[in-house]
């Protein structure tokens, strides 16, 4: 009797051991199969449960002069649908003491730099904004704005317009009229990839990653794309040679457009900006003509101005003889969601007249 019990126990032990070995072999084979599969880029992967946000990226000097307008704009939004990031001068903090927009509180970057208008530091600041916004996997669109921008529509309309499009919005056209391309950029930046346009963009996440993590094109711009000083800053000019033959290159008007062209993304973008600017063509001095957009003051801010901007349905690009008919996700739409440059008085007047629908 004792022998039968011991024999039965021995067989159960052997069967249990065999089953355990089989389970371990199955788990090992599954692990091997997983490791042999091509790995996805975790940068692009996002759980379906995440919110879909627009990251609003502001380039500012110090205070945000149009903060009252933006307070009204963001008040109508669901907070999980947007994020705010501000690049201002180093050390400046947005708080109750420095802004009337609660959505700007503590939204300044901690690693901001001093920005020189028309210099490569402008695109370095854009890098910093994008890199910080990309840390949040919920941010799907990245909209670059200046501190003189106003929204033309309420948040809901703006959100649906941007989110419904499968493309980025980047003002981009061939630079055939101005001698800004420097042959020293070749072969890293070839002449046929050189583009020009407004710096204000709305980028898809994958395009924002290309810009933020670029280590190849940015150094070329820093070295070979430099703004020619205005005549009164004579001491900044090269004292050797003819100053008129210097390359007058403004980095922020070429960088993103050229970078995306080099990466072959031009068919993935709407080649226009969502931000309206009226460029100054009335200056007598050719050196100054077109360097700055018109600033709209209290006297300019009228219902007609806003209506005229909202009614623009196409943009003509002279150097390409191209008319860009504005659309979002294949449907005709007004061209612009934002406008600049507005003074505080002009923007508040428009807000009080309820011309923006905020």
pLDDT level of residue 87 (50, 70, 90 thresholds):
very high
Q: What is the spatial distance between Cα 172 and Cα 317, in angstroms, rounded to a whole number?
A: 9
Compute the Cα dihedral for 277, 279, 280, 281 and give only its sign: negative
| Strand bridging mode 139-146 / 202-204 | antiparallel
132-169 confidence digits (pLDDT tens): 999 999 999 999 999 999 999 999 999 999 999 999 99
Mean pLDDT computed over every residue of the chain: 84
Which whole number is the average pLDDT over 6-33?
Answer: 57
**Under 8 Å between Cβ of 255 and 224:** no
Residue 73: CB atoms within 10 A of its CB come to: 23
Confidence of residue 179 (pLDDT cuts 50, 70, 90): confident
CB 259 within 8 A of CB 210: yes
Best CA proximity match to 218, nearest among 116, 128, 87, 108: 128
Distance between CA atoms of 130 and 124, rounded to whole angstroms? 10
Q: What is the pLDDT of residues 250-271, one digit of tens each?
A: 999 999 999 999 999 999 999 9
Q: Convert 80-94 to b/e letters by CB count within 10 Å (16 or more is b).
A: ebbbbbbbbeeeeeb
- Contact, 53 vs 82, CB < 8 A? yes
pLDDT in tens, 33-53: 433 333 333 344 344 447 899
pLDDT at 115 over 50: yes
pLDDT digits (tens, 9 = 90+) for 288-311: 445 678 999 998 888 899 999 999
CA gap 298, 67 in Å, rounded: 16
């Amino acid at each position: 009797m004792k022998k039968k019990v011991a024999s039965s126990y021995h067989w159960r032990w052997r069967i249990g051991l065999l089953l355990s070995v089989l389970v371990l072999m199955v788990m090992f084979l599954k692990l091997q199969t997983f490791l042999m599969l091509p790995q996805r880029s975790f940068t692009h992967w996002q759980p379906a449960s995440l919110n879909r946000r627009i990251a609003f990226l502001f380039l500012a000097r110090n205070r945000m002069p149009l903060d009252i307008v933006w307070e009204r704009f963001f008040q109508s939004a669901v907070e999980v649908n947007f994020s705010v990031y501000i690049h201002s001068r180093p050390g400046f903090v947005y708080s109750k003491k420095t802004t009337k927009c609660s959505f700007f509180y503590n939204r300044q970057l901690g690693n901001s730099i001093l920005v020189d208008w028309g210099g490569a530091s402008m695109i370095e600041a854009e890098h910093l904004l994008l890199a910080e916004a990309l840390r949040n996997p919920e941010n799907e669109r990245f909209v670059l704005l200046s501190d003189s921008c106003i929204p033309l529509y309420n948040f809901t309309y703006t959100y649906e317009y941007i989110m419904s499009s499968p493309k980025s919005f980047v003002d981009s056209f061939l630079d055939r009229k101005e001698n800004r391309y420097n042959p020293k950029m070749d072969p890293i930046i070839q002449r046929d990839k050189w583009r020009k346009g407004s710096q204000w963009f709305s980028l898809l996440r994958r395009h924002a990653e290309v810009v933020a993590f670029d280590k190849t094109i940015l150094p070329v711009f820093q070295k070979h794309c430099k703004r020619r000083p205005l005549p009164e800053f004579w001491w900044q000019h090269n004292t050797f040679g003819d100053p008129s033959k210097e390359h007058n290159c403004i980095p922020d008007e070429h960088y993103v457009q050229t970078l995306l062209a080099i990466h072959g993304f031009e068919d993935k973008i709407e080649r226009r900006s969502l931000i309206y600017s009226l460029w100054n063509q009335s200056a007598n001095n050719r050196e100054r003509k077109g360097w700055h957009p018109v600033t709209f003051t209290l006297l300019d801010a009228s219902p007609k101005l806003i209506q005229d901007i909202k009614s623009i349905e196409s943009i003509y690009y002279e150097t390409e003889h191209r008319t860009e008919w504005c659309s979002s996700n294949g449907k005709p739409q007004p061209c612009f969601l934002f406008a600049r440059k507005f003074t505080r008085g002009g923007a508040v007047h428009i807000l009080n007249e309820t011309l923006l629908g905020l």
